[in-house]
Structure 1
Amino acid sequence: MARYFDVHPVNPQPRSIRQVAEIIRDGGLVAYPTDSGYAVGAQLGNLQAKQRILDLRRLDERHHFTLVCADFAQLGKFVHVDNAVFRAVKAATPGPYTFILPATRDVPRRLLHPKKKTVGVRIPDHTVVQALLAEIGEPLLSSTLLLPDQERPLTDGWQIKEDLDNTLDAVIDAGECDDEPTTVVDLSDGVAEVLRYGAGDPAPFE
């Protein structure tokens, strides 16, 4: 049964954030709100959670996982960013974008795309996520909570608790969030390619 945390969207209660962080450190899978729908997240090195996410979303091993980072400095530790890419990503973050970039050695190999050796990264513009990232002190291994039979991410924490109670370990409810997933931009070869159109304006990358 998933633990349910009702938190303030602007001033999240520190005690609740600490408890969620402990669940993540203990190997838990958590649903949390972002600036582009709900996502599911786990500790970076938790390979069992990776499989749980694949099973939940019915995805294969070619799925690009996302490292949700607190800021650009943290993001730069896990992906290679040249000057041109730096400017493009910096201008769009924080915000509802996911960028596909070549991974550094700090990313566990099993999280990489099997052929491209890339990983998704993003910096969300959401107070609750930022508080959780600050408490954990490292990126979250994450994926949009987009179920196989749905076209948009889930947006209501209580509904997620009802529907996925036996699948998740915790749900953070900070009120409804937008129902558009991130815009996904592949910058892995230095040329921008929009792979998914979503909440972020794709114009700067087209």
Structure 2
Amino acid sequence: MPAAPIVEIDPLHPQPRVVERAVSALSSGGVIAYPTDTFYGIGCDLFDKRAIERIYQLKQLPRTHELAFICQDLAEISRYAIVDNAAYRVLRRKVPGPFTFILPATRLVPELVLRRQKTVGIRIPDSPIALELVRRLGHPLISTSAAKPEGEILIDAHDIKDELGHGLDLILDGGFRPAEPSSVIDLSGPEPVVVRAGKGDVSDLLA
């Protein structure tokens, strides 16, 4: 297929018509690139199995590779993850922000994105674009980094088009995104565990 078109979008005030175009692509089984508060993400509808398979193929990922997804708020997280009081206190402090939280999954989560321990990786990014996409779509959006198969992070929409555009339906250009990964916090056990210290401040969670 031809390389995906690039459409400029305002990172702070995403234009409704651009958001609608992206949501239309997602609702039709499309795969898009979009900016978050960390990397550019490659995403699709959480409930579209064929679109998720396309992401695995595009990034040449093994099926064991775990995909995170984006929720719009804490109420939505609680539909897809089991959130106890301790986890809720951490979430309330940290969202929206550059964090990925590992939580026990509920039965709503598709098998394809479950981790080995029946957990899920969930984000509420501090990104008006990502949150508006999820809000307009009506349920979560898969999110994996826009990177070459060998792992190099792509920080510009035009680089994404050159490297991955053949497998995408739309690229939302929100400007350069520095290659800063999210911090990963495991909230599936009795105490929070920092799996990866990235862009988000985790100093309050380190013993």
TM-score by length of 1: 0.92
1:106-145 mapped onto 2 (5 Å cutoff)? 106-113=108-115, 115-145=116-146
Name 2:40's counterpart in structure 1: 38
Name 2:94's counterpart in structure 1: 92
Confirm or deny that 1:202 pairs with 2:202.
Answer: yes
Distance (Å, rounded) in 1 between the aligned partners of 2:190 and 2:34: 31
Name 1:183's counterpart in structure 2: 183
1:58 maps to amino acid? Q
Secondary structure, aligned partner of 1:195: strand
Confirm or deny that 1:157 pairs with 2:157.
Answer: yes
Compute the displacement of 1:201 (Å): 1.5
Name 2:56's counterpart in structure 1: 54
Q: Is the 8 A contact 2:154 2:160 kept in 1?
A: yes
The 3 A distance-change label for structure 1 pair 72 and 34 is same
Question: Which stretch shifts more, 86-95 or 129-138?
Answer: 129-138
Q: Is the 8 A contact 1:56 1:147 kept in 2?
A: no
Distance (Å, rounded) in 2 between the aligned partners of 1:68 and 1:132: 10
1:24 corresponds to which of 5, 26, 32: 26
Distance (Å, rounded) in 1 between the aligned partners of 2:60 and 2:91: 29
Identity %: 39
Question: Which stretch shifts more, 25-34 or 172-181?
Answer: 172-181
Name 1:7's counterpart in structure 2: 9
Gaps of 5+ in 2: none
Question: Which stretch shifts more, 189-198 or 17-26?
Answer: 189-198
Distance (Å, rounded) in 2 between the aligned partners of 1:43 and 1:26: 9
Compute the displacement of 1:97 (Å): 0.3
2:168 maps to amino acid? L
Question: Which stretch shifts more, 22-31 or 103-112?
Answer: 103-112
How many residue pairs align between the two structures?
Answer: 204
Distance (Å, rounded) in 1 between the aligned partners of 2:192 and 2:71: 21
Name 2:76's counterpart in structure 1: 74
Compute the displacement of 1:166 (Å): 0.5
Distance (Å, rounded) in 1 between the aligned partners of 2:26 and 2:190: 34
Distance (Å, rounded) in 2 between the aligned partners of 1:61 and 1:117: 15
Q: Is the 8 A contact 2:31 2:51 kept in 1?
A: yes
Gaps of 5+ in 1: none
1:58-82 Cα shifts (integer Å, max 9, x gaps): 3323322212011111111100000
Instruction: Extract structure 1 runs of 4+ deviating beyond 6 A.
Output: none
Distance (Å, rounded) in 2 between the aligned partners of 1:196 and 1:179: 15
Compute the displacement of 1:147 (Å): 2.8
The 3 A distance-change label for structure 1 pair 24 and 160 is same
Compute the displacement of 1:193 (Å): 2.2
Compute the displacement of 1:30 (Å): 0.6
Compute the displacement of 1:205 (Å): 2.5
